[in-house]
Structure 1
Amino acid sequence: MHRRSVILAAFLILFIPLSVTYIVSIPTTRTITILHTNDLQSRLLGFGPNAEYSPGTVNNDDTIGGFARLATLIERRRAAAREAGHTVLLLDGGDFSMGTLFHTITRQTGGELRLMHMVGYDAVAIGNHEFDFSPEGLAQMITSARNSEHDLPVLLMSNLRFDPDDAGDDRLQALFNEGVIQPYHIIERDGLRIGLIGLMGYNAWEVTARKGPLRFEDPIETTRRLARELKNEHGVHMVIVCSHGGVSSDDQGRRIGDAWNGEDIELATQVPEVDAIIGGHSHTPIPDPRIVHEHTPVLQAGSEARYLGELVMEVGPESIEYVSYELHPIDDSIPGDARVTAYIEDLKARITRDFLQKWGYRFEQPIAEVHRDLTEAYDDQALGNLIADSIRTAANADIGLTSNGVIRDNLLMGRTGIQSVSDVFGLAPLGEGKYSDAPGYPLMKCYLTASELKSVLEVLSFAYRVKGNSYYPRFSGLRFEFNPWRMPLDNVYKIEIGNPEAGYREIDLDDEETLYSVALTTYLGGFVAVLDELSMGLHSVTIKDEQGAVVTDINDLIIDG
């Protein structure tokens, strides 16, 4: 019996620990500083006319942001934190690409990722705009950056899955298999083990233009599973989520009082194992973090390098405590990093040579002048109307259609009002041609009846009230009247076709014979094509060509793509 007891004891000692939670304690409290950005959107220059951005000098322009200035501030705050004895991380919440002329060559250069490596990012979430060039295009971007830098920030993609039967995501999956893209990552630094997760939120996935065969998994369930695995099986001291989910406080994306809502708040609420959320997607500057469960801060640093967030936390043997937070503005008081500026100048020259020159343009070429700020705000009519007019005129259509969500920038007057090619490109930069690699969503022209026009107006005018101001419609060539107090999706009672110069005429909403030409991008055309689904069967639209024949593939209606 004694021998059996000894054998049993040995067995228990050897094997039972394999099933016990793996806990690594730290003997003393460590302070960690987390620097973070999100939604950089290829915004390497500042806000304001690009010709006025002067990173080589200070206090002589009104532009804000700029990656070279961001680089300087990162190095300053990193040095200060290290001098105070802190462990330091630099993280990003996704959408580092797409939005300016710089993204036109990103598949060839990986320029945004190279810059993030240059300034020392530890990890970066993959956001929805990383897929604007498709999974294949993202793979090209990453590969180009690796060919130049070899050592990139860790790219986090925790809740997207590959399709084994479709080759459309194979190159991206190969990078995942190599560990360039990871479902989670563990950083060991100064005695701390820190687990990192990178998520795509529901809304971000919904608006992803070119998903390819990738599949989406619930971010809350994914985070719960990975956070427990990281803490219980890998012994991390803290879990940080880089979440491209977003925050808001009502359906219009406005904050009410001190309350924040949205996907990132819900994530922190549902998964208490998470110790901090570095947010993105909604482009929201949060000066005072929302603290969930009395210890989990939810953060976001605006967008496009206008801010750098700095979170300080204490990681102790028994608990993790929030200490402080600061949202640092970035403006002309900060000199730009010279090495970063030089690299950006090289990119500008390459954009002119490889992209713009064939159309007779240069990156810095003056092309327009404004006498006041023209903004993308839904209640500022001028810019949205100008873009809708341009779409209608280019297609020679009765009606031009766009929405606030695809208008990505303002034309800011600055000190001179002069706008360059690079400024104007930023107004509608998203997407890619169907039959060429030219940037921008293809332009299409379809034909609808009066009742179908009413259906489009009903759904779009309802969507922005439910989904937020990015869905706010912009039209050219028509005006309409609606009563918001009527039943939802039955508000429009009058439509007029025309323009201010020639005048407008009312159309018969019951007319099922007359066809009206509508110009729009294929991105919006895809939504119009599924109007029946979006309105839960209350409205339907049959897209037609000029002869009235039904068209099932909107790509057949492309006139510039």
Structure 2
Amino acid sequence: MEINIPKGGITITKLLLRICSILIIIALVTSVDGSKGNSASPEESITILFTHDLHDNFLPFEVRRNQGKYTVGGYARLYSAIKEQREKDPDAVLVDAGDFAMGTLFQTIYASDSPGLRMMGQMGYDATTLGNHEFDFRARGLAASLRAAKDSGDAIPKIVATNTIFPTDDEGKIPANLQALKEAMDHYEVKDYLIVERKGIRIGILGLMGEEAASNAPMSGVTFDDAIESAKSTAATLKNDEDVDLVIALSHSGTSDEKSKSEDELIAQKVPDIDVIISGHSHTMLKEPILVGNTIIGSSGEYGEHLGVLNISLDVNKKWKVNEYKLIVIDDTLPLDPTTSETIEKYKQLIQEKYLRHFDMEFDEVLAYSPFDFTPFSEIGIELKEEPLGNLIGDSFIHTVRELEGNDYEPIAAAVMPYGNIRDSFGKGDITVSNVFNVNSLGIGPDEISGYPLLNIYLTGKELKTVAEVDASITPIMDEVQLYVAGLSYTLNTNRFIFNKVTDVRLQDFDGTKEEIDDHKLYRVVAGLYSAQMLPYVNEKSFGILSIVPKTKEGTPVTNFEDQIIYMNGNQEVKEWYAIANYLKSFDKIDGVPQIPVYYEQMKNRKVVEHNSNLFAVLKSPNRIIVTAYAILLAFVGIVVLIITLIVKRRRRKK
């Protein structure tokens, strides 16, 4: 039966037919085949929250900028920022691009408790990748950390390690020293790539270790495939086989102002299937994203000082475009998340029980007060020059060994500290155990606990002079090898020929008294394990022109550097950081607190750098290397002159 609507209205049947037609049209327009890639709607956006190079900075820290000091970072405030962003977009993806570990006292329980991964899990990270510093404790340390995280039962982020490869022997077996790591990675479920889905959008995430970063993990045991080729293959798999809409690369490769060395930009150029690169390793802070073709590159800086926020959506051409990119400063305007703060305190207690007790020190113990600022860490090593912090560290090595040996002390001629091993600096104010560890946090010893140990080596006087020349000549090529040497005073001219830049070098006491160096005498030198092991590479880096061969007290070349480690309390390795802490405690006290003397506020003529371009200054006092070079040059010129003379004579005869 048909019912008419009064006042000339349409029938209910026709009305229903029209409504059904509209609904069908809407369904057809909005329908999506979920089994295919690139299914995301142009109106739908994805938010990517990101960090990298956190380096175990669980706690806030002080930075100096524009003549001011600011407290930034800390996971309790970082998590507050993360929660705030997820309130705006609950489907936001949270990722990290590696080097989440190593840099503070929290690394000391890396193998036993894996605080970094567990804290990232607590903060809701979806994925991270392995940076070179995750391998600092070698394969065994990383294996233990992965197992500790997985077996804790806590939430943990997924790990993607796309181009990490386990070498095999002729029988296809993984070496015994890597088997534990392979099993731990399988136990943790480390993958080549990860797929997550948000708002109906399939997101593929891969993780890369760059070439330069891989070179900084020489003791990892594993190998790393070419990042570009690995990324090409994996991104193609994600797009073609896994039907993802968005490919994100967590790349521990980095960017650089020098385009030929900007690895992540090169990856973006060669692998257009990658839509977004979160770029770690170089600690870069990009205020605006780098766009390479259709690939978006973001970097948020170091140590959790910022949280990166990238919001993207598909344009009409099905390409991902940037709607918003910002770096949120993690500072005291953000509240401290109470749960995160509580977890951090628990980890501090574990550090006390498992590590600091060996040194009879406490996490927040005040060791000394500095009445002045040392050079900010960001400015150390930029210029070839003497550095007060380097002087302090070198002096601390000598002081601590002298104190430990007492009446049996054998004089130390020099203590060596490379710039590359300095990781932080001291500002005006109280200096705690935690602060000192941050300054010198790298490495691990044979005791398998954090910190490079000090050791004894012996060098001839000639080799001591070579140490100064290494600093002068190789630092401009590789700034991380700049040396700070307590016990020496040397003058160098940057305008002289390479390997002949040092014009004067002598021994120098703490009070400034200088003494000539006997080329043939053996001198005792103290350095960290890493630094001492690197000295023999001088031969390679100088193309065989310079040579340093660390020796035992008897003058025989060192074959096992671990045999030269200095111990205290019978069997405890003397760590580099401990020597610094011990030295700080020795200073004169005011109101019961040791005060760093103003001696360390000034230069001490340990490294005098000149920029004299006067021809006499450039050519005077050539060493054997340059004399040989001059002789070769003169011989070459002589041969050329002789050839020209013969040619001229022959032409004259023909005429």
Same fold per superposition (TM over 0.5): yes
Task: Report the CA distance between 1:443 and its aligned residue.
Answer: 1.2
Q: What is the aligned counterpart of 2:253 among 234, 242, 245?
A: 245
Higher alpha-carbon deviation: 229-238 or 487-496? 487-496
Q: Secondary structure at the match of 2:53?
A: coil
Task: Report the CA distance between 1:309 and its aligned residue.
Answer: 0.7
- Distance in structure 2 (CA, Å) of the matches to 1:275 and 1:155: 19
CA-to-partner distance for each residue in 1:489-514, whole Å, 9 max, x for gaps? 33223212113405123436xx3x12
- Distance in structure 2 (CA, Å) of the matches to 1:27 and 1:514: 74
Matched, 1:28 2:41: yes
- Distance in structure 2 (CA, Å) of the matches to 1:449 and 1:441: 24
Aligned to 2:55: 41
Q: Secondary structure at the match of 2:89?
A: helix
The 3 A distance-change label for structure 1 pair 353 and 165 is: closer
Q: What is the aligned counterpart of 2:395 among 389, 398, 407?
A: 389
- Distance in structure 1 (CA, Å) of the matches to 2:296 and 2:528: 39
Aligned to 1:233: 241
Aligned to 2:96: 92
Q: Secondary structure at the match of 2:475?
A: helix
The letter for the 2-side match of 1:284 is T
Aligned to 1:9: none
The 3 A distance-change label for structure 1 pair 114 and 165 is: closer
Aligned to 2:128: 124
- Distance in structure 2 (CA, Å) of the matches to 1:373 and 1:533: 38
Segments of structure 2 that go 5 or more residues without pairing to the other structure are 1-34, 64-68, 168-172, 402-410, 568-572, 574-655
In 2, are the aligned partners of 1:447 and 1:516 still within 8 Å (CA)?
Answer: yes
Aligned to 2:454: 443
- Distance in structure 2 (CA, Å) of the matches to 1:115 and 1:355: 19
CA-to-partner distance for each residue in 1:415-460, whole Å, 9 max, x for gaps? xx112211112111111121x2332112122112233234333334
Question: Considering only CA atoms, is the larger Rg found in Structure 1 or Structure 2?
Answer: 2
Identity %: 34
Q: Secondary structure at the match of 2:37?
A: coil
Q: What is the aligned counterpart of 1:419 among 405, 408, 431?
A: 431
- Distance in structure 2 (CA, Å) of the matches to 1:27 and 1:529: 57
In 1, are the aligned partners of 2:532 and 2:550 still within 8 Å (CA)?
Answer: no
Q: What is the aligned counterpart of 1:71 among 55, 66, 79?
A: 79
Q: What is the aligned counterpart of 1:399 among 398, 414, 438?
A: 414
Aligned to 2:484: 474
The letter for the 2-side match of 1:387 is I
The 3 A distance-change label for structure 1 pair 528 and 350 is: same
Matched, 1:452 2:463: yes
Task: Report the CA distance between 1:175 and its aligned residue.
Answer: 3.2
The letter for the 1-side match of 2:356 is L
The 3 A distance-change label for structure 1 pair 526 and 23 is: farther
Aligned to 2:170: none
Task: Report the CA distance between 1:314 and its aligned residue.
Answer: 1.2
Q: TM (normalized to structure 2)? A: 0.73
Aligned to 1:7: none
Task: Report the CA distance between 1:150 and its aligned residue.
Answer: 4.8
Q: Secondary structure at the match of 1:465?
A: coil
In 2, are the aligned partners of 1:128 and 1:207 still within 8 Å (CA)?
Answer: yes
Task: Report the CA distance between 1:31 and its aligned residue.
Answer: 1.0
- Distance in structure 2 (CA, Å) of the matches to 1:200 and 1:532: 29
Task: Report the CA distance between 1:116 and its aligned residue.
Answer: 0.4
- Distance in structure 2 (CA, Å) of the matches to 1:262 and 1:455: 33
The two structures, once aligned, show a CA RMSD in angstroms of 2.2
The 3 A distance-change label for structure 1 pair 193 and 424 is: same
In 2, are the aligned partners of 1:154 and 1:181 still within 8 Å (CA)?
Answer: yes
The letter for the 2-side match of 1:406 is N
Aligned to 1:188: 197
Task: Report the CA distance between 1:479 and its aligned residue.
Answer: 2.1
In 2, are the aligned partners of 1:95 and 1:281 still within 8 Å (CA)?
Answer: yes
Aligned to 1:305: 304
- Distance in structure 2 (CA, Å) of the matches to 1:199 and 1:27: 26
Q: What is the aligned counterpart of 1:530 among 537, 543, 548?
A: 537
- Distance in structure 1 (CA, Å) of the matches to 2:442 and 2:161: 22
Aligned to 1:104: 108
- Distance in structure 1 (CA, Å) of the matches to 2:109 and 2:494: 45
The letter for the 2-side match of 1:304 is Y
The letter for the 1-side match of 2:94 is L
Aligned to 2:626: none
CA-to-partner distance for each residue in 1:369-391, whole Å, 9 max, x for gaps? 11222233225822222112212
Aligned to 1:255: none
Task: Report the CA distance between 1:62 and its aligned residue.
Answer: 4.4
Task: Report the CA distance between 1:363 and its aligned residue.
Answer: 1.3
Q: Secondary structure at the match of 1:182?
A: coil
In 2, are the aligned partners of 1:223 and 1:271 still within 8 Å (CA)?
Answer: yes
Matched, 1:429 2:438: no
Task: Report the CA distance between 1:238 and its aligned residue.
Answer: 1.9
- Distance in structure 1 (CA, Å) of the matches to 2:206 and 2:216: 21
Aligned to 2:314: 315
Q: TM (normalized to structure 1)? A: 0.85
Q: What is the aligned counterpart of 1:495 among 491, 505, 518?
A: 505
- Distance in structure 2 (CA, Å) of the matches to 1:535 and 1:288: 40
- Distance in structure 2 (CA, Å) of the matches to 1:68 and 1:463: 42
The letter for the 2-side match of 1:218 is D
Higher alpha-carbon deviation: 263-272 or 62-71? 263-272
In 2, are the aligned partners of 1:156 and 1:198 still within 8 Å (CA)?
Answer: yes
Q: Secondary structure at the match of 1:137?
A: helix
Aligned to 2:224: 216
Q: Secondary structure at the match of 2:550?
A: coil
The 3 A distance-change label for structure 1 pair 498 and 27 is: closer
Task: Report the CA distance between 1:340 and its aligned residue.
Answer: 0.3
- Distance in structure 2 (CA, Å) of the matches to 1:543 and 1:270: 45
